[in-house]
């Protein structure tokens, strides 16, 4: 039985989850893996006397984790970006393998970090919590070429959109409830603006397509403009609105985008609700596979952290921490060159012939209509919503068409547009 000594940086929810799992399931882990895990050191800016460290030595100095000889693997759970990045750099320079749950560090600094690391750096917990999606891509599906990787990878957005659908809540009301339940931060911008999901997509894209992590090249859009009307109309058309991260290889190039998306109700992703995450992978040999589970939370993330710890512990006699394949610098298509179908909600005057004018404006730009809804105006309303699903078209064409539609006398400004993906 191999004993591996762990040093944990941070003492938040995930770190406490790691301590609890090691205490509760240590014997089970040892039986299954042949590795006995022992937490020997914990470092955090402030002590938490109420947390059982299981006999580990506590310090307020992060450097104690990599400067001392009694730590075999360092676990970075302090969060943030710059401090965490500096800590990981120092740990690997000292020859300590690192496990991190830090998606921001990997998405923005991972190329340098992994290329220069003399020891392994693992980051399963950085994407989709308990879901072993990184192991699936790197190991379970290693014999495949990937066509697309699509995911619901932010639980806060998924909870809000689910509440808007199931409870008829407005975005603001759903967000307030998410904050009250602890699913959203006091400042939720990072989540609802799409940045969190984009960090995760950058990692998945790099791994699936053997490319550098290219966070800055991603198109990112949040959910703040989604309305209860959009949720309702999507349902009537047989769709649900999900906030997706999508990486797809096409004949024209690589698409990489994060945004709200209409997904057919028949698609498995449409049934993933609440704070759950899910990732759909399409590969040439394996076909479609989907992975779903808790995307956040102390126990769920700690589970993924310890999966990486066990793999590292079993490989401590090996060297090298970089990614195994040569990276291919694949340019990401600008959003204007991507192709998909679109949902349009157009506020228009309740007058004869308006729909025909809208349809004609779309047709002038080569856009065909797949389905349409036109509602009767409610009392005291001057405008009525025209809802259209287009067929697949290039985004630059749609943008030009929307400009023309918004210029019609009968149309109010502010046409709402949401992308539609069949995910076949």
Average pLDDT of the residues in 355-361: 93
Say if residue 324's pLDDT is above 50.
no
Per-residue model confidence as pLDDT tens digits over 125-144: 999 988 999 999 999 999 99
Confirm whether 324 is domain-assigned. Answer: no
Comparing 244 with 324, the larger pLDDT belongs to 244
Under the banding of pLDDT at 50, 70 and 90, the label for residue 66 is very high
Per-residue model confidence as pLDDT tens digits over 169-220: 999 999 999 999 988 889 999 999 999 999 999 999 999 999 999 899 999 9
Same domain, 288 and 147: yes
Under the banding of pLDDT at 50, 70 and 90, the label for residue 233 is very high
Residue 319 has what pLDDT?
A: 42
Comparing 298 with 227, the larger pLDDT belongs to 227
Residue of 89, 97, 160, 99 lying closest to 124 (CA atoms) = 99
Confirm whether 74 is domain-assigned. Answer: yes
Average pLDDT of the chain to the nearest whole number: 92
Q: Whole-angstrom Cα distance, residue 225 to residue 325? A: 40
412 touches 402 (CB < 8 A)? no
Say if residue 317's pLDDT is above 80.
no
> What φ, ψ does residue 120 adopt, rounded to 5°?
-65, 145
Question: In terms of residue numbers, what domain contains 208?
Answer: 139-294
Cβ atoms within 10 Å of 112's Cβ, excluding its own: 13
74 touches 9 (CB < 8 A)? yes
> What angle (nearest 5°) sits at the alpha carbon of residue 46, between those of residues 41 and 51?
60
> What angle (nearest 5°) sits at the alpha carbon of residue 395, between those of residues 147 and 242?
60
Residue 320 has what pLDDT?
A: 44
Confirm whether 76 is domain-assigned. Answer: yes
Confirm whether 188 is domain-assigned. Answer: yes
Say if residue 376's pLDDT is above 80.
no
Same domain, 77 and 180: no
Same domain, 169 and 259: yes
Comparing 310 with 375, the larger pLDDT belongs to 310
Alpha-helix residue ranges (DSSP H) falling in 117-265 = 133-135, 155-167, 171-180, 189-192, 195-208, 228-236
Region of 79 on the Ramachandran plot (φ > 0 left; ψ -120 to 50 alpha; else beta)? left
Under the banding of pLDDT at 50, 70 and 90, the label for residue 326 is low
CATH number at residue 366: 3.30.70.260
Confirm whether 321 is domain-assigned. Answer: no
Number of domains, the chain: 3
Cβ atoms within 10 Å of 270's Cβ, excluding its own: 20
Say if residue 381's pLDDT is above 90.
no
The residues annotated as belonging to the active site are 200
Say if residue 62's pLDDT is above 50.
yes
Confirm whether 134 is domain-assigned. Answer: no
Same domain, 303 and 387: no
Say if residue 403's pLDDT is above 80.
yes
């Amino acid at each position: 039985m191999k004993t591996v000594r762990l040093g944990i940086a941070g003492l938040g929810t995930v770190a406490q989850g790691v301590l609890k799992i090691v205490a509760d399931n240590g014997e089970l882990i040892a039986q299954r893996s042949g590795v006995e895990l022992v937490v020997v050191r914990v470092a955090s800016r402030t002590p938490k006397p109420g947390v059982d460290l299981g006999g580990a030595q506590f310090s307020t100095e992060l450097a104690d984790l990599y400067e001392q000889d009694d730590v075999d693997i360092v676990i970075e759970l302090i969060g943030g970006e710059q401090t965490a990045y500096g800590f990981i750099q120092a740990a690997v320079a000292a020859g300590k393998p690192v496990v991190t749950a830090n998606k921001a560090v990997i998405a923005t600094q991972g190329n340098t970090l992994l290329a220069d690391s003399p020891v392994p750096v693992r980051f399963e917990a950085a994407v989709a919590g308990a879901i072993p999606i990184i192991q699936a891509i790197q190991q379970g599906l290693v014999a495949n070429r990937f066509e697309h990787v699509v995911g619901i990878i932010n639980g806060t957005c998924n909870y809000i959109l689910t509440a808007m659908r199931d409870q008829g809540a407005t975005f603001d009301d759903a967000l307030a409830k998410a904050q009250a339940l602890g699913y959203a931060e006091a400042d939720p911008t990072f989540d609802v603006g799409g940045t969190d999901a984009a960090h995760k997509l950058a990692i998945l894209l790099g791994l699936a397509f053997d490319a550098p992590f290219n966070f800055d090249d991603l198109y990112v859009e949040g959910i703040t403009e989604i309305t209860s009307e959009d949720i309702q109309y999507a349902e009537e058309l047989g769709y649900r609105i999900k906030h997706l991260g999508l990486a797809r290889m096409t004949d024209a190039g690589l698409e990489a985008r994060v945004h709200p998306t209409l997904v057919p109700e028949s698609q498995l992703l449409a049934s993933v609700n609440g704070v759950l995450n899910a990732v759909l992978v399409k590969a040439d040999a394996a076909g479609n596979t989907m992975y779903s589970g808790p995307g956040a939370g102390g126990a769920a993330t700690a589970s993924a952290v310890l999966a990486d710890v066990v793999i590292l512990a079993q490989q401590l006699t090996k060297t090298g921490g970089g990614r195994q394949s040569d990276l291919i610098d694949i340019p990401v298509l600008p959003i204007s060159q991507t192709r998909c179908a679109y949902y349009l909600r157009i506020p228009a005057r309740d007058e004869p012939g308006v729909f025909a004018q809208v349809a004609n404006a779309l047709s002038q730009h080569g856009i065909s209509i797949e389905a349409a809804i036109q509602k009767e105006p409610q009392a005291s309303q001057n405008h009525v919503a025209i809802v259209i699903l287009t067929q697949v078209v290039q985004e630059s064409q749609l943008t030009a068409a929307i400009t023309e539609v918004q210029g019609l006398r009968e149309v109010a400004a502010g046409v709402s547009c949401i992308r539609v993906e069949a995910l076949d």
